[in-house]
Structure 1
Amino acid sequence: MSLVPGDVVRAAAVGSLAVGIVALGGVAGALFLLVLGGVLVPRFLGLPTALDLCFGSSLLLAAWASQLGWYEAVPWLDLLVHAVCTGLVAAVGVIIMVRGQALEAGALPGRARVGLAATTMGVGALSAIVWELGEWVGHTYLDEGIDVGYTDTIADLAFGLFGAMLTGVVLAVRDPAWRLGRDA
């Protein structure tokens, strides 16, 4: 396998894991281990370069923003990250479904495009819920410093759903090349 631009992000994730474990502690190490697992997905799937870079970079940014206190310093950043990351996770999830033939990969007529957008939004909604459950588990069992609460959770879910909705629209109107994993 030859190197691709996303491998720079993956190398940064490996470095972040080392820093997390050695300098920041076990919770940070676990977070960066999750990020490393996430940034490997596009590589194994051979996703388009732009999606690979955006997906991996957003996961890495989300983790570092948490560790460096950026969410407290810039309150709207948390919502932006939830929108962007959830949208990108939804895109990758839908591509996995297409490649696994759980969704049709051919040319899509109008109604099928609406279905694709709705499916993307559903995948994003599910990933947003899992993310929030992860935050709650982290807060409850690992580190009370992880910000949870009704308002935070609802806002995170709303912005995640918004990001997934935008992604669904983009995937539904875009050329079918994304479904085949080619750079377009």
Structure 2
Amino acid sequence: MAEIAIATPATPPVAKTANAIAKAALVMLLALALLYPDQSHLRDKAAGMRAVGYPIVSFAVPLLWWTLWRDRMSFPWLPDLLITITCFTDILGNRMDLYDTIVWFDDWIHFMNTGLLAAAIILLSLPHTSGLGRCVERALAVGATGAIAWELAEYFAFISRTSQRSFVYGDTLGDLALGVSGALVAGILVHRLWRRGLLVAT
């Protein structure tokens, strides 16, 4: 089981504001997606599952902190923001139709969002004195698990019902590789920021 770090990274005020704005915007975009799925470019793309799953994910840290961690650590603003961004960027990308109009956007989202999620879990579950090997190990565990879970969710949500499902195998492998690569980069980056004192304990 992952350890909960006693101290959390110092967070600039802008991260707190960005966190609140991202959460509010996410809820608004999800409501619009349910009301107007065509305008949100989410028809047949599991809008309902996103409307349920994304709030659960983006509000998980506040709930866990309030019920389990508040006596041991200050609120982890930065990890919470990173997790919220992973949900917000996906729903915003669909709303702006970036997945269908920018050929590399889907690849970038798989790389970036898995990396952000891995960074958040590292910040939440490891002390800032952890070595590179431990950071990379945690990042790969989170990245591989998250990437596989996302591909399974995509398959059962809408890929399994499309007539082109026999052609998505290569795309799935590419998404898995990008997700794991993003997590690896995140693990190395968090470790380096810790070593340079740019992410310091409060």
Q: Please give the range of the TM-score, normalised by the shorter of the 2 chains.
A: 0.7 to 0.9
Return 5+ residue gaps in structure 2 as ranges.
1-15, 38-42, 66-74
Q: Tell me the equivalent position of 2:140.
A: 121
Q: Give the structure 2 partner of residue 40 of structure 1.
A: 59
Contact 1:35 1:63 survives alignment (8 Å): no
Matches of 2:194 and 2:128, distance apart in 1? 11
Letter in 2 for 1:48: W
Alignment partner, residue 35 of structure 2: 22
Map of 1:61 onto structure 2:
89
Tell me how many residue pairs correspond in the alignment: 167
Q: Is 1:85 aligned to 2:113, yes or no?
A: yes
The alignment's TM-score, normalised by the length of structure 2, stands at 0.69
Q: TM-score, normalised by structure 1?
A: 0.75
Structure 1 unaligned runs (5+)? 99-104
RMSD: 2.9
- Which has the larger helix fraction? 1
Matching of residues 130-141 of structure 1 within 5 Å: 130-140=149-159
| Distance in 2 between residues matched to 1:55 and 1:36, nearest whole Å | 11
2:163 equivalent to 1:163 = no
Q: Distance in 2 between matches of 1:122 and 1:76?
A: 25
Query: Which shifted more, 113-122 or 78-87?
Result: 113-122
* 2:121–2:142 Cα contact (<8 Å) kept: yes
C-alpha separation between the residues in 1 aligned to 2:82 and 2:135?
Answer: 21
> Which residue in 1 is equivalent to 2:168?
149
Shift of 1:163: 0.5
The CA distance in 2 between the partners of 1:146 and 1:66, in whole Å, is 20
In structure 2, distance between residues paired with 1:160 and 1:154: 10
